[in-house]
């Protein structure tokens, strides 16, 4: 089979060989995107600085010209549709300010073009991940200092460098998954110990955050982590580790408090069944509002950013339905639902084939965390994850078909 990006990368390599500044431009673009990924766990604003630099370098060196080649690649079709739908939905939006804000978020998909066109060798891939991990490791250390009262505690808890716990928890889970992959393929016990330290730090930070959605996604994907740690056939050890890893969350007072509150709220059947607005338990109202919007506009949806139109009468204008599929359905109807499943299926199909490769497993991790994280949140809209997702999607251009053993990194 042909690699998703075959032909495109060859054209770029040829152009760089004819241009003395080509290699310099490629280095600037790559390291800018590496800094962008490393800065995401701090804040989206911090990540935007190197992202803009990468965009400028790509623009001035003509790298965005690969867009016309990518548009002919089948794996990019759902991404193109995903970018176009918000602009089409503006034509019949019921709330233009929110609609414009959501449509403008498609600018982050420039990251897909950049990542598809940059050179990625095994050394660069390792550096790409390492910056991401080190930032989260430093953030976990700062969260520990915040717990001990040595460092000031933000209003929303022990966030470390982060600003939004829902987004930060997604990064931490992706970090745990990708590090577990390196643990599996490492041949050195020293490297394995380092991987365990990284995973333990990320799990600790996840356990002191308030994001219930993060606990939920981690529990769902923990079998994948255990598979990387233990292997295929050691089922007894897998079960034991599952109890230890998931049970370790129970030692966190923050986790137990959030679980207790959630169980208490699930007993509020009056709110769940009627969808009455409650400031402390708003999810039933949000989902009922989404169903009302779908009932009113089942085919084409209500338009980009129109969900707020259906929640404003309840006294609290909520911008999106806190569910990725519901957001696409409410906004764009049948086309939106088909688009989001097509987008995730394309990403899952290609990355799962290359799950033994570090880059393939990274894309798979982002795909799974974003999809399952979209059950009770909308990561395709949230600042940070809506940039990370196009970065990972653009990496599909570098996954070779069939799987090449040379791309399966054997760490020392």
Lowest mean pLDDT among 27-36, 175-184, 206-215, 268-277: 268-277
Which pair of tokens denotes residue 352? 């799962």
pLDDT number for residue 312: 79
* Dihedral, 162, 166, 169, 171 alpha carbons, nearest 10: -70
Residues 323-365 have pLDDT tens digits of: 999 999 999 999 999 999 999 999 999 999 999 999 999 999 9
Mean pLDDT of 117-142: 93
Mean pLDDT of 267-280: 74
For the chain, report the end-to-end CA distance as a whole number of angstroms: 31
Q: Does residue 316 surpass a pLDDT of 90?
A: no
In Å, the largest CA–CA distance within the chain is 69
pLDDT number for residue 6: 52
pLDDT number for residue 258: 79
Residues 53-66 have pLDDT tens digits of: 999 999 988 888 78
pLDDT number for residue 21: 46
- Distance between CA atoms of residues 322 and 310, nearest Å: 14
pLDDT number for residue 163: 73
Q: Nearest 5 degrees, angle CA 103-CA 44-CA 38?
A: 130
pLDDT number for residue 8: 56
Residue 1's pLDDT band, with cuts at 50, 70 and 90, is very low
Lowest mean pLDDT among 35-44, 128-137, 162-171, 216-225: 162-171
- Of 170, 242, 260, nearest to 206 (Cα)? 170
pLDDT number for residue 7: 56
176 contact partners, CB below 8 Å, separation of at least 6: 199, 202, 203, 206, 218, 225
410: number of CA atoms within 13 Å, CB side? 4
Which pair of tokens denotes residue 340? 């989001």
- Distance between CA atoms of residues 91 and 158, nearest Å: 42
What is the pLDDT of the chain when averaged over all its residues?
A: 85
- Of 109, 107, 19, nearest to 71 (Cα)? 109
Residues 206-254 have pLDDT tens digits of: 998 888 888 999 999 998 998 898 876 666 776 777 777 777 777 777 8
Find out whether 367 and 347 touch, Cβ atoms under 8 Å.
yes
Residue 67's pLDDT band, with cuts at 50, 70 and 90, is confident
List C-alpha distances in Å: 339 to 326, 335, 373, 380. Answer: 12, 6, 18, 13
Percent of the chain clearing pLDDT 90 (strictly above):
53
The secondary structure of residue 118, as a DSSP letter, is S
Q: Which residue in the block uniquely carries the two structure tokens 């911008």?
A: 319
pLDDT number for residue 362: 97
The residue extents of the domains of the chain are 8-266+306-407
pLDDT number for residue 400: 60
- Distance between CA atoms of residues 206 and 104, nearest Å: 30
Sign of CA dihedral 389, 391, 397, 403: negative
pLDDT number for residue 409: 45
Find out whether 407 and 125 touch, Cβ atoms under 8 Å.
no
Q: Does residue 103 surpass a pLDDT of 60?
A: yes
Residues 14-37 have pLDDT tens digits of: 554 444 445 788 899 999 999 999
pLDDT number for residue 12: 52
Sign of CA dihedral 12, 17, 21, 27: positive
Residue 404's pLDDT band, with cuts at 50, 70 and 90, is very low
């Amino acid at each position: 089979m042909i690699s998703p990006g075959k032909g495109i990368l060859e054209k770029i390599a040829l152009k760089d060989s004819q241009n003395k500044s080509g290699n310099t431009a490629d280095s600037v673009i790559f390291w800018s995107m590496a800094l962008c990924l490393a800065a995401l766990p701090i804040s989206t604003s911090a990540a935007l600085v190197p992202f803009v630099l990468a965009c400028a370098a790509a623009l001035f060196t003509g790298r965005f010209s690969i867009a016309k080649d990518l548009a002919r690649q089948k794996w990019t079709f759902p991404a193109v549709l995903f970018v176009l739908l918000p602009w089409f939905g503006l034509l019949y939006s019921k709330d233009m300010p929110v609609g414009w804000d959501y449509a403008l978020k498609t600018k982050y998909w420039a990251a897909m073009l950049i990542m598809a066109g940059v050179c990625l060798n095994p050394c660069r891939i390792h550096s790409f991940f390492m910056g991401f991990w080190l930032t989260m490791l430093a953030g976990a250390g700062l969260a520990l200092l915040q717990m001990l009262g040595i460092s000031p505690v933000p209003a929303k808890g022990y966030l470390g460098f982060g600003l939004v716990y829902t987004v930060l928890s997604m990064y931490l889970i992706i970090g745990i998954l990708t590090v577990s992959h390196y643990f599996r393929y490492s041949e050195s016990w020293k490297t394995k110990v380092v991987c365990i330290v990284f995973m333990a730090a990320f799990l600790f930070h996840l356990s002191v955050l308030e994001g219930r959605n993060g606990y939920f996604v981690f529990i769902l994907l923990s079998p994948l982590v255990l598979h990387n740690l233990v292997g295929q056939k050691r089922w007894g050890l897998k079960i034991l580790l599952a109890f230890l890893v998931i049970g370790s969350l129970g030692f966190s007072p923050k986790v137990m408090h959030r679980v207790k509150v959630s169980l208490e709220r699930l007993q509020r059947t009056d709110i769940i069944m009627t969808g009455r607005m409650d400031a402390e338990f708003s999810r039933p109202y949000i989902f009922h509002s989404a169903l009302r919007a779908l009932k009113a506009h089942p085919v084409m949806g209500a338009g980009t950013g129109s969900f707020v139109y259906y929640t404003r009468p309840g006294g609290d204008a909520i911008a999106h339905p806190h569910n990725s599929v519901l957001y696409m359905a409410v906004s764009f109807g049948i086309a939106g639902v088909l688009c989001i499943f097509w987008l995730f299926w394309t990403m899952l199909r290609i990355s799962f084939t290359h799950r033994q490769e570090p880059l393939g497993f990274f894309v798979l991790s982002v795909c799974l965390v974003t999809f399952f994280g979209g059950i009770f949140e909308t990561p395709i809209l949230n600042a940070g994850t809506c940039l990370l997702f196009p970065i990972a999607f653009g990496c599909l251009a570098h996954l070779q078909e069939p799987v090449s053993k040379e791309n399966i990194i054997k760490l020392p």
